[in-house]
Amino acid sequence: MKTVLLHDNYSINKDGHFTIGGYDTVELAKEYGTPLYVLDEQKVREMCRKYNDGAKKYFKSAKILYASKALSFKGAYRIADSEGLCADTVSSGEIFTALSAGFPAEKIYFHGNNKTPFDVEYAIKNGVGCFVADNVKELEIIQETAQRLGKGKIKVLLRITPGIDPHTHVKIATGNVDSKFGESVETGQALEFVKAALEKTHIELLGYHCHVGSQSFDPKPFLDAADIMFKFISDVKKETGFEASVLNLGGGFGVRYVPEQKNLDVDYMLCHIGENVKKNCRKYGLCEPEMLFEPGRSLVAAAGITLYTVGNIKTIPGYKSYISIDGGMADNPRYALYEAPYYCLIANKADKDMDFKADIAGRCCESGDIIQPGVTIQHCSYGDILAVCVTGAYNYSMSSNYNRLEKPALVIVSKDGARLGIKRETLEDLTRNDL
């Protein structure tokens, strides 16, 4: 079997080396060391523009939100801002990082199911543009904090649970009735949530937010969610007189991780959602609200890869083989968490046949530290460079110092050259906060 190039920014050069954004990954590993995250800036920009183009084409007014939790560092916010995106954040740390990068506070949306009083105060003091409130208690904290700080009305969206099965992994499904996020339409709690917000003197209710899950390739869950949300908008208007001017349908659009999956057609998804929005507005006699979308991982996932150096190769006759690498679950815990699929290859032998079956094992002292089990890959030797594809999302952002391992560097490649986006941690960094 030959190497499959999952995305159009991947290729194999004349030396038989795997490249990303035109850059030889073997040379990057040599220059910057491993483990190494590599991010293709042009691919990120390409995805931002696809969503922006679709938003302009199919909606009266729409905004695209960059998913901080997928990849949060200063360089990512600078790219997102320059492409005209807003930012979706879920912590004071993500807000701080965005602001440190010069990202406009008014373009930041603050999500999360349990914002602390510190979080709320920090966001208000720093002029964050809009809260996505998850529950009535949060509304009370926002109201009290705004009053105490002498602030005017704080812009708020309410997170509503539509009760949709997105047909994705149970651990990344968020729109079910029994979700930890938001208030449910089905139980009547969502309507009470709205009434509570309308009573608050320091809250300016703009509309609603919902999110059905992640890694979706099919527009149907979004269409189903839109049907429920527009009926909810209509019901609330009849009950209270309030008509939402903003609706965030979430996102979580899918990404091709392995050859069996398809590439997402962004235009197709947004076209179908746009038609549905207009249909529902006609049906209920509503003005078309400003639409917000959260493409999530699909903005950055394919733009990233991780490079490792192959260490010990262990074959157990009659059982299996292991390829051990100099990273693992500390820099990519997604297989351990979700059994997430990944496509792997030997970067310096990318033109060779893939006919060696093995588990890719990390260096953490856990039997479950597996990057990917049972992959068919090129025969490799100690010192070869292993590439794990489509790691731009939820790798650096979920990395840890487990086993007291240093977090890897991240290098950004672009038409202007390669540059460090995040420095590699040192041993000294590991004890910086120790007393």
Cβ(272)–Cβ(226) below 8 Å? no
Kindly give the pairing relationship between strand 304-316 and strand 320-325.
Answer: antiparallel
Q: What is the CA radius of gyration of the chain?
A: 23
What is the Cα–Cα distance from 379 to 180, expressed in whole angstroms?
45
Tell me whether residue 235 is exposed, middle or buried, using C-beta atoms within 10 angstroms of its C-beta: 0 to 12, 13 to 18, 19 or more: middle
For 164-319, strand residue ranges (E) read 183-184, 203-209, 246-251, 290-294, 304-316
Q: Is the dihedral of CA 430, 118, 76, 347 positive or negative?
A: positive
**Catalytic status, residue 48:** no
Out of 130, 365, 380, 389, pick the active-site residue: 365
Question: CA torsion angle for 49, 54, 56, 61 (degrees, to 10)?
Answer: -110
Measure CA of the first residue to CA of the last residue in the chain; give whole Å: 53
The SS3 assignment for 281 reads: helix
**Cα angle at 352 between 348 and 358, to 5 degrees?**
85
Cβ(399)–Cβ(331) below 8 Å? yes
Cβ(90)–Cβ(174) below 8 Å? no
SS3 track for 175-191: CCCCCCCCEECCCCHHH
Query: What are the angstrom distances between the C-alpha of 194 and each of 134, 157, 184, 367?
Result: 11, 10, 11, 48
Output DSSP code: residue 114. S
What is the Cα–Cα distance from 256 to 101, expressed in whole angstroms?
30
Tokens 């240093």, located at residue: 406
Cβ(162)–Cβ(175) below 8 Å? yes
Q: Which residues contact 63 (CB under 8 A, 6 or more apart)?
A: 55, 85, 86, 290, 291, 292, 293
Catalytic residues: 365
